[in-house]
Each structure stands twice: as C-alpha cells, then as structure tokens.
Amino acid sequence: MRTLREVGFNGTTIGDHIPRMINDSGLQQAGAAYCVAYMRALLKQANRDVG
C-alpha cells in the first residue's frame, strides 16, 4: 500500500487471496471482511507515512 500511495495510484485494489475462517459460510464472508479490514489498515498507515 505504501508503494501504491507513493506513486500516486488512483485505482481499485482487490483482495486476491481471501483467508478461510473457521465456521465461515460458503461465501467466505468473514474471510472477506478480514481481508478488507486488513487492506484498510494498511492504507491508513500508508497515508500516515506518506501523507
């Protein structure tokens, strides 16, 4: 995320490998939620670091 921020990337990122969570539904909703939250945290930190 930091590199994407540094180069001024203005597009969409997509979680490529969604983790399988215990007792998650066949749609992998919990894994997808984890993936999105993790990516948001990375972006938040990249914004702090790069500005």
* pLDDT one-digit tens code per residue, 4-50: 999 999 999 998 889 999 999 888 999 999 999 999 999 999 999 99
Provide the pLDDT for residue 33. Answer: 94
Among 46, 39, 36, CA closest to 4:
46
Which pLDDT score, from 0 to 100, does residue 15 have?
87
Are the beta carbons of 20 and 31 closer than 8 angstroms?
Answer: yes
pTM of the prediction?
A: 0.81
pLDDT at 27: 87
